[in-house]
């Protein structure tokens, strides 16, 4: 599974302050720590007002690329910010995200299609997030029609089924898992990504809930997740579950992660 480090996110208070103050050391530190912990991609989200977002996102990208060389996951709903970011990246980034919303399909999908970038697609549209499986599946089919029409191969599309907060929605994780299973049987090449920590907002011992969900989501075919790579328990669970699911030939990933000190109990 691809680990997309979540911590460079301007909607978090400390990161917002670092972006406003152009505090390079703060950003470099969370970039390096996430990559050392095993992040394959780093999510970069400026989280700022749309007029400032292009320059803030470009600043973040340049600071991050000055210390690490993993590809980035450009996290924005703003086509102008994404366009500016796409001009500065050193490696093909993931675009986070399109959705069933008309504005994103028109403004963002062409940016990804032109460059053949992998893209994350959220299962929501201009009417919001459907609560049940059927509504999400209908949006997924519409999105995949559009990505195919734009010439983007199915294996470059990462569907994010949207895990809802369990404290307010009892079936918030189950719906996401059922949706992944249905889409996989209909579109075997399409991939899945999820923002894992949404499910545990407002609850104690969040990492435990995130770990339980990660194991179930991996069993349903999860290919990528936006997570905190510094969460030791989550990392342990990731390596162990991939091993159990037969995704780790000769236990190579598990044993080398253990030797490198990335698995600890």
Minimum gap (Å) between residue 57 Cβ and ligand THG: 14
Q: How far is the CB of 235 from ligand THG (least distance, A)?
A: 16
Which structure tokens are listed for 2? 């691809």
Instruction: Please name every residue paired with 192 in a beta bridge, in sequence order, or none if there are none.
Output: 159
Q: Rank residues 39 and 257 by Cβ distance to ligand THG and give the closer one.
A: 39
Smaller CB distance to ligand THG: residue 227 or 257?
227
Q: At what angle do helices 24-36 and 13-20 cross, to 10 degrees?
A: 130
Q: Give the residue with the Cβ less far from ligand THG, 14 or 142.
A: 14
Distance CA(137)–CA(180), nearest Å, equals 9
Q: Which residues of this chain interact with ligand THG, rule CB under 6 A? A: 6-7, 9, 12, 45, 75, 96-97, 120, 122, 160, 195, 197-198, 226
**Nearest-CA neighbor of 167 among 211, 201, 214?**
201
Q: Beta 41-45 vs 2-9: how paired, if at all?
A: parallel
Distance of CA 188 to the CA centre of its chain: 20
For the CB of residue 122, give the shortest distance to ligand THG in the complex, in Å: 6
Name the residue nearer to ligand THG (CB basis): 172 or 195: 195
Which residue is at the shortest CB distance from ligand THG? 195
CB of 124 closer than 8 Å to CB of 167? no
Nearer to ligand THG, 17 or 92 (CB): 17
What is the closest distance, in whole angstroms, from the C-beta atom of residue 163 to ligand THG in the complex? 7
Residue 75 token pair: 């996290």
In the bound state with ligand THG, the residue whose beta carbon lies nearer, of 146 and 248, is 146
Please state, in angstroms and rounded to a whole number, the distance separating the CA atoms of residues 131 and 133. 7
CB atoms within 10 A of CB 181: 14
From residue 57, alpha-carbon distances to 76, 83, 232 in Å are 9, 10, 28
Question: Residue 75 Cβ, how far from ligand THG at the closest point, in Å?
Answer: 5
Instruction: Name the minimum Å distance from CB 150 to ligand THG.
Output: 19
């Amino acid at each position: 599974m691809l680990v997309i480090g979540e911590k460079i996110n301007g909607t978090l208070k400390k990161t917002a302050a670092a972006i406003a103050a152009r505090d390079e050391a703060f950003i470099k530190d969370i970039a390096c720590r996430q990559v050392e912990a095993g992040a394959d991609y780093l999510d970069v989200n400026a989280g700022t007002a749309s007029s400032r977002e292009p320059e803030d996102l470009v600043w973040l990208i340049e600071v991050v690329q000055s210390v690490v060389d993993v590809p980035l996951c450009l996290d924005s709903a703003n086509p102008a910010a994404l366009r500016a970011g796409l001009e500065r990246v050193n490696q093909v980034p993931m675009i986070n995200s399109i959705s069933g919303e008309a504005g994103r399909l028109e403004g963002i999908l062409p940016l990804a299609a032109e460059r053949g970038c992998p893209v994350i697609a959220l299962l929501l549209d201009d009417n919001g997030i459907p609560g049940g499986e059927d509504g999400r599946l209908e949006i997924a089919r519409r999105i995949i029609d559009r990505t195919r029409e734009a010439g983007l191969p199915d294996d470059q599309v990462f569907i994010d089924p949207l895990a809802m907060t369990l404290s307010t929605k009892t079936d918030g994780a189950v719906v996401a898992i059922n949706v992944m299973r249905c889409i996989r049987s209909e579109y075997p090449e399409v991939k899945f990504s999820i923002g894992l920590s949404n499910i545990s907002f407002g609850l104690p011992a969040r990492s435990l809930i995130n770990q339980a969900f990660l194991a179930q989501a991996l069993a349903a075919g999860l290919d990528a997740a936006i997570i905190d790579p510094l969460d030791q328990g989550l990392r342990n669970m990731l390596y162990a579950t991939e091993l159990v699911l037969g995704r780790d030939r000769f236990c190579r990933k598990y044993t080398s992660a253990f030797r490198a000190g990335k698995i600890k109990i």
